[in-house]
Amino acid sequence: MNAAWTHTTVLLTEAVDALVTRTSGTYVDGTFGRGGHARALLQRLDAQGRLIAFDKDPEAVAAAAQIADARFTICHAGFDAMAAELAARGVTAVQGVLLDLGVSSPQIDNPERGFSFRHDAPLDMRMDTTRGETAAEFLARADAREIAEVIRDYGEERFAVPIAKALVARRAGGAPVRRTGELSALVAGVVKTREPGQNPATRTFQALRIHVNAELEALEQGLSAALALLAPEGRLAVISFHSLEDRIVKTFIARESRDVVDRRAPFAPPRALRLRAIARIKPGYAEVEANPRARSAVLRVAERTEVPM
């Protein structure tokens, strides 16, 4: 592994402290990455503890193979598939689920992955490079309306329509965007104003990455799967890095942390709350100074309530 592509784990101690309530329990690391949280969790667990990790990225799975610990298992799958993967292993309940969302530093820093506008490379952006449509392939087939919707909804980009029109016009002219440098230059030519210090293409790159990997859909599915798997008093810990992710996590925890009355059956007892919000944690000043990529991180923690009989 290139030393420049290493990953500094965000909110490491805070996440492990919040998650582990029983050292002999079974835990899920839904986003192995380069194993920072996983290794810290294994250090916290006792001999009866177990950690099952997930990752879409074949490079992350290869890195996980270096962990020689009988308590550890890696699955080449996204965390949205955790229910089926765990059921296949005979696991029906877990003590905690950790999700560290977004893209990892090795994915950003490796030019060949196509995640960053800092390097010119093929416009790929897939977290799982063995399957699915690349960002370049999406831009080669989608119409202006679909491209604009993706850039607007997933990038919160106010210039989504002119960016989409420019992409389609370039494609119609026989020069479709296939590389990160081409996309970055095109967006810079359309977006004339941007927040100080932010590259004009930041929001567009984020939007395409989220779309190509179906990140928000996977997050919603993963949260529901985690809730169904958590044992009473088990913990859910989610680290998000932008408002779209955090909004989904916040809304999910809030929804599952209140009694719900079925309006179709007003005299039936309300569905009991299933989660209890525990904490919202931001990185401290020292962590942000040492790792600027941590500045937007938010850790939300919730606990599974007793399952009603």
- Residue pLDDT tens, the chain, 309 long: 444 445 679 999 999 999 999 999 999 999 999 899 999 999 999 999 999 999 999 999 999 999 999 999 999 999 999 999 999 999 999 999 999 997 877 777 788 888 888 889 999 999 999 999 999 999 999 999 999 999 999 999 999 999 999 999 999 999 999 999 999 999 999 998 777 778 899 999 999 999 999 999 999 999 999 999 999 999 999 999 999 999 999 999 999 998 655 566 565 566 578 999 999 999 999 999 999 889 999 999 999 997 543
For residue 136, give Cα distances in angstroms to 121, 125, 145.
11, 9, 17
Are the beta carbons of 1 and 288 closer than 8 angstroms?
Answer: no
Per the structure, the complete domain to which residue 196 belongs is given by 129-212
Question: Do residues 92 and 147 both lie within one domain?
Answer: no
Last residue of a domain, one of 193, 212, 231: 212
Q: Express each pLDDT in 45-70 by its tens digit.
A: 999 999 999 999 999 999 999 999 99
Domain with residue 138: its CATH number is 1.10.150.170
Question: Do residues 18 and 158 both lie within one domain?
Answer: no
Residue 134 lies in a domain: yes
What predicted TM-score, i.e. pTM, was given to this entire model? Answer: 0.90
Laid out side by side, the sheet with 275-281 consists of: 72-76, 50-55, 26-29, 94-100, 230-240, 298-304, 275-281
Structure tokens at 106: 């090795």
Domain with residue 298: its CATH number is 3.40.50.150
Helix (H) or strand (E) holding 223: helix 215-229
Instruction: Give CA–CA dist 285/200, Å, rounded.
Output: 27
Question: Do residues 96 and 241 both lie within one domain?
Answer: yes
Question: Do residues 49 and 31 both lie within one domain?
Answer: yes
Question: Do residues 53 and 27 both lie within one domain?
Answer: yes
Q: For the chain, what is the domain count?
A: 2
Contacts of 154 (CB under 8 A, 6+ apart): 206, 207, 208, 210, 211, 216, 244
Residue 121 lies in a domain: no
Q: Express each pLDDT in 248-266 by its tens digit.
A: 999 999 999 986 555 665 6
